[in-house]
Amino acid sequence: MLSDVTTPQDLDDRFRDRLTTLDAADERRDPGEPVVDGALLTGARALDLFDAQVVSRQLDLAGRWLRSFGEGFYTIGSAGHEGNAAVAAALRPTDPALLHYRSGAFYCARAAQATPPASEDDSGSAGSGPFTPVYAEAARDVLRGMVASTREPIAGGRHKVFGRADLAIVPTTSTIASHLPRAVGLGIALERLRRLDPAGRRAGNEVRLGGGGGAQHAPWPADAIVVCSFGDASVNHASATAAFNTAGWSDHAGLRIPVLFVCEDNGLGISVRSPKGWVETALRSRPGIRYFAADGGDLVEAYAVATEAAAWVRRHRRPAVLHLSTVRLMGHAGADAETAYRTTAEIEADLDRDPVVAAAALLTRVGVATGAELLARYDEIGWQVRRVAEEVLDEPKLASPAEVVTPLAPRRPVRVARAVADAATRASGPGAAARAEAFGGKPPELSGPLTLAQSINAALADGMLDHPQMAVFGEDVAAKGGVYGVTKGLRDRFGPARVFDTLLDETSILGLGLGAGLAGMLPVPEIQYLAYLHNAEDQLRGEAATMQFFSSGAFRNPMVVRVAGLAYQEGFGGHFHNDNSVAVLRDVPGLLIAVPARPDDAAAMLRTCLASAAVDGSVCVFLEPIALYHTRDLYAEGDNQWLAEYAEPGAWSGGHVPVGRARVYGVGSAEDLTIVTFGNGVRMSLRAAAALAEEGVGTRVVDLRWLAPLPVGDLIREAAATGRVLVVDETRRSGGVGEGVIAALVDAGYVGAARRVAGVDSFVPLGPAAHQVLVSEDAITQGARTLLAR
C-alpha cells in the first residue's frame, strides 16, 4: 500500500522483493561477451553500470535519511533516471558535460570511466567489492554537497551540484534549461578553436590559446563534444527554445556545433504533466537537430542509442538530441505528496519500471550474475554509502561571509594593471608592426581627437591584436559595423572568425559568450540596446556570475558584454532605445559594470575590463551611452571639448583606470559643491557647473565611471571636501544608482547635506515628452541652488 510519498523504505523493499523473484540463467555468461547477440554492451560493462546505478540509488536513500534528522539540505534525487549511466558510458570522460540535477548515475559512471582500474598493488579496496575507491570518492562528493560541506570538490558547500573539473563536468546551478544556451555556445567555441590556433593554423589535438594573459590551454581535446541534460518540462522553457533555435539556425547556416542534448523525459514537471507525445513532437520538429530516442530503463538499448548519437555528433560536428524515456521515483523532492496529483496506479506503474531493477533483471537473465549476488552488491554499496554519509556529517560548513564570497569575483588589481602594462609593451614592441598594419599605417593616436564611438572602436582593435582568443559578436556588428558604427572595420581587419554577426536573440548571444569564455576564449558580445538585455538577464545573473562562485574558481566564463544604452537620443525610438534602468545589473553579485562618458576614459576602461576578464575571469558589462557616441562639443557648438586624443601604447600604463576608481573634474574653486554622476550626467553636470561658476559657485564633478563596484573611497573623499553632495542620476528614482550612492554616504558616516536629481519612475516616452521624465541641465542647476541655500 503506497503512502502519499514513496518512501526510501518503500523503494528499498520493492527492490529486494523483485530481486528474490529473478530466475537465474541456465549457465553463466563470459562477462567479456555482449549481453545479447549483436549488442554493444558487454556483461562486464553492464555490471559496471549496474554498480553506478546502485551507488546513485543509495545516495538518494542516504539523502532522505540525512534530511530526516536535519543534516541534509537537498533531496532532489536521481531515482528513476539511473539510465543516464549508459549515456556517460557512451561518451568520453573528456567530453564536457553540463548536467541536470537527476544525474547521480551519470556522475558515478563518469568517475569510474575517467579513472584507470587500480592494480593489485594499489592500496585501498580496489577489486574487493562493488564499492571501489572511485565510487567511494564519487559518493563522498555527492554527500558532501547534500550536507553543505566545505570539502565538497566543486561548490565547496555553496550548493549541491554535479561538477568536477577533472571529470569535465561543468556545474549548473539552475537546470531549468538556463544552461542550454551555454552548451550551444561552448559547442560553437570548441569547433572554432578546434579548427584554428591563434596564428590561424591547425594546433593539433590540443587547442592552444595565446594572448595578453599568457598562454593558456583549452581544457578539452579538439574532438570533444558537449553534452547537456535536462528534463522534459524544460523543453518548454524560453532558454531551451533559444538554444534549440540557435543550434538549428547555426547548422542551417553551415556552422558546426558538436552538442548532444539529452532530454530525460519522466513525463512530469513537479506536478504538471507533459502532454502525451508533446516532448517527442517538440524535439523531432527542431530543424537542424538530429533526433535519437531510447528507453532509459533498457540498458542495452540506452547504451546502443547513446553510443550512436555521440558518435554521430563527434563525426559530423553537428547537434543532436537524445530523447531518453525515464520514470521519477520518490516524487520530485523531499515531502512531495505525489498522490495529490497522480493516481496510485500511475505511481505503481512507474515503480514497476524501476531502471535499477531492470538492469538487475538483464544481468540475471543473461547469466552475468544471480539475484542473490546482485542483492549482495546492493547491500554492500548501501552500507558503504551510509558509512560515508556518517563521516561527512562532521565536516566543516562555511562559517563567515568572507568564506562564502571568496570565489565570487576575484579582484587582483595589481595583476590587472600589470596586464595592461604588458599589453602596452607588446603593442609598442614585438606587436608594433602588426598593429601598424591593422590600423593601415595610421594608428589611432595619430588620428587626432576621437569621439566616444571612435575611441571604443580603436580600443577593441587593440584588444583584438593583444588577445588572439578575443572575439567580437552580436547583431549587426560585422558587415554593418554596428548600428552606430562602433565596430566598423573590425571584421575587415580581423576576419569573420573573430568578428561575426549572430542571430537576433540576446539569450543566445550571451549563451555564446558563456560557452566561449568557458572554452578559454575572451568573448566580447554586444547587446544592441539596454532594453533588450532584460530578455536575457538570467544568462548573466544565473549562469555567468555564478560560475566561479559555484565552482570555487575551477571554471570561469570571462566576458565583456558591450551594451549600447541609456537615454537622451533626442526622443528617438521610445523606451526600447532610451532605456535608463540598470537596477537589474547592479543587483547581480560580482558583476563588474563600467559606464564610460569620455572618449579617453572609454578606451582605458575597456582595456581594464579586458584585462580583468583575462586575469580574474571577470564578467563585465560595458555600458556605452548612445547619446554620447558621436558627441563632439561640451559647452558650445564647435568647441570639440568632448573629443579626446587616443593614448599611444606607452601611455596606457600611466593612464590605467583601475576598477572602482572615479574621475573628478574641478570647476571654479571646486570648494562649494560636489556633484556625483555618471554617463550622460557627466556632460550635463559639467555644463551646469559652468553656469554655477558664473554665479561664484565652485563645483567638483565626480564621474563614478564604475556602477559596480562603486568607487566608495573616492565618493566619500569628494563628498567630505565640500559637505554638500548633489547626486545626478539619469536612471530612475526608485531602484536607481542614486540610491546606492546615498546609502554609501550614510554607511560611511557622511554628515553633510545631500540631495538627488533623478529620472522619474517612468518608461521613456517618444519624442519631446522624453524630456518630462529625464534629468535636465536646468534640474541639475536648480537642485544645486536648493542644496546651497540650506
Pick the closest to residue 555 from 568, 563, 546 (CA basis): 546
Phi, psi angles (nearest 5°) of residue 725? -125, 125
Residue 447 burial (CB count, 10 A): 13
C-alpha–C-alpha distance, residues 120 and 92, integer Å = 25
Query: Residue 321 phi/psi, 5° resolution?
Result: -125, 135
Residue type, 504: L
CA gyration radius, the chain: 30
Q: What sections of 723-789 are H helices per DSSP?
A: 737-747, 777-788
- C-alpha cell belonging to residue 159: 550548493
Asked whether the beta carbons of 510 and 545 are under 8 A apart, the reply is no
How many residues make up the chain in this entry? 790
- Gap between the Cα atoms of 777 and 347, Å rounded: 68
Q: What is the dihedral of CA 687, 693, 698, 703, to 10 degrees?
A: 10
Closest CA to 267 of 280, 254, 249: 280
Residue 696 near residue 644, CB atoms below 8 Å: no
Distance CA 468, CA 645 (A): 26
Of the candidates 384, 363, 386, which has an alpha carbon nearest to the alpha carbon of residue 19?
363
C-alpha cell of residue 136: 567511494
Q: Report the alpha-carbon distance of residue 519 to residue 546 in Å, rounded.
A: 16
The separation between the first and the last C-alpha atoms of the chain, rounded to the nearest angstrom, is: 78
Three-class DSSP labels, 249-260: HHHHCCCCCCEE
SS (H, E, C) 593-610: EECCCCHHHHHHHHHHHH
Indicate which residue of 179, 467, 577, 656 is catalytic: 577
- Residue 393, φ and ψ in degrees, nearest 5: -60, -35
C-alpha cell at 294: 531510447
E-assigned strand segments in 127-280: 169-170, 206-209, 216-221, 226-231, 259-265, 268-269, 272-273
Three-state helix/strand/coil letters over 97-133: EECCCCCHHHHHHHHHHHCCCCCCCCCCCCCCCCCCH
Query: Using CA atoms, how far apart are residues 527 and 567, in angstroms rounded to an integer?
Result: 15
Number of neighbours of residue 164 by Cβ within 10 angstroms? 22
Listed in sequence order, the residues at least 6 apart from 247 whose beta carbon sits closer than 8 Å to its beta carbon are 184, 187, 257, 259, 261, 286, 288, 289, 319
Q: Under DSSP, is residue 86 helix (H, G, I), strand (E, B) or coil?
A: helix
- C-alpha span between 139 and 149 (Å, rounded): 13
- DSSP 3-state percent helix, strand, coil across the chain (nearest 5): 45, 15, 40
Asked about 577 being catalytic, the answer comes back as yes
Report CA 625 to chain centroid distance, whole Å: 25
The 10 Å CB-count burial string (b at 16+, else e) for 241-267 is: bbbbbbbbbbbeeebbbbbbbbbbbbb
Element of type H or E holding 413: helix 413-428
CA–CA dist 390, 42 (Å, integer): 35
Mark out the alpha helices in 228-330 (DSSP H runs): 238-252, 278-284, 299-316
* Contact criterion met (CB below 8 Å) for 450 and 459: no
Asked if 655 and 600 count as a contact pair (C-beta separation under 8 A), the reply is: yes
Q: Which residues are catalytic?
A: 577
